[in-house]
Chain A
């Protein structure tokens, strides 16, 4: 068990190291600091694994490191909130960090002591991974092993990485493969804190990171074997990187957005149908707000699109070639959904603590901020994904799942990190003495 755990930990560490190197290689100007690079490294690194280059993690890191100056690999320009941290803030921040540690510890413990239990994990995500692990590949078309068996239209990002963990450890451990879920949870928490810290004080960044980590439903998804949190992580990372591009004008952030967006579409079908369009629309909105000439704008759109297509293209082609659906449902209007949604958001469910009411109340305190482009660069994609999610339950036969409460909370779990981050930025902006510190565009 200990050796299996160690090997699986290393199987997570390897792509993380490669991811770290990839970010450092792309961010030549050092606009990301060490914490941000480390936080993003796992997400970026496993995207690399989707390109079927699993055995080359270590080699990739060495080559990239050799091409770069050692210093540039590990350092970036450290920029944090302009406010000085007082002793009280330091204490409060430390308390929140301790609470975050508790929130990380319990799911980690559960990875080791829980058996595979939840339905979607054993029927789809873990099952496909085990089939790929056992078959040593994706199987021939028409065979039982093809694309991991089971439901063929489900994206393979999560099963492929779990299969890689098993291959690296040399065994299939039904509990320990859920270290992947924990790694996603921990990465998401770290990315959230690292990016928010740039714009908010230590205490506020730690407080909102604690809020994210303590969303009740998150505790099961951090070790339960579902892919909802993973797609939520990629959505969050994509929006954060896109917003950083808008703030800095640095193209490398667009490439990274393309990478994480491709990973998102390869994690769950919702990533392709609901969230990728929201990111594209936000991108178009932000690019329209820049003062670059038209030719430059077209170039800015074309290059990340190409990166996205290179990474997501193979899976999209498989979808087209084999006629794999992306889900859906019969169209229709279900007005009664709004009553159910109100019950879910405000009184009947405990999956999100008081996030719904808290959001409304916080946002109403400073309506002027809705004119702030930096805030909007985070909030607009949330609003779009929120509306897209609502539309699924209000205008399609998926209303049934809202009524049964099987998917509604999971759907909102995916976009909740983005919402909490928007609230964190909102609060940071309001508190900030210098209003908001936009990273200076690199000349």
Chain B
């Protein structure tokens, strides 16, 4: 017998609310533990290395080529219309405000977010999470909080590095394809971009860090159905995180830059 469409809509709504509620509870419990400084420092540094330091090469590589492609697209057109002196600010503006934070977050969600979901999911199916509870230990304090604090520390750092590499790549490409010299390029940045553009962009990374860790952790902790379930959790973590990063990026851009046309 086919399921009643209303019943199906109702069930999916309930599932969605349950998911949102679960993530919110996980976030609330993590925030409570962080506020009470119940942070395992050594494990946090370990996670900062695993989630952050080990992601730097992939983040920088994607940023380098993104900066170069923005430069490629804008430099030729800008020179053609006589605005070659604005290419530097265009690349820096896009990198600081949007592409640096968002691309870093997307890449980290794909690498570190998936790793969190897979690791915690494996711990669920091998009863390690239940073992923590049986020992009277909180899985949130032991596993989620160190990852969250590590990500809050490392994602802004990765984003600053991504911004720098993106601009350097853009400057090099502009000099090669449009013969815009470095002095013109960087003068354009100094004149067209403010420190607040970079800082507000960095502000976004805290929201992205929270999304990546909470979604990855929640997906991992709700893993069922053995090894297949770990795969489902991991894929779900990446997909949901990336969608939320894009939505959050739009909302934050609207709130932070909505009334601003940018430029100094």
Q: Bound pair: A and B?
A: no
User: Taking beta carbons and an 8 Å cutoff, which residues of A are in contact with B?
Assistant: none
User: Taking beta carbons and an 8 Å cutoff, which residues of B are in contact with A?
Assistant: none
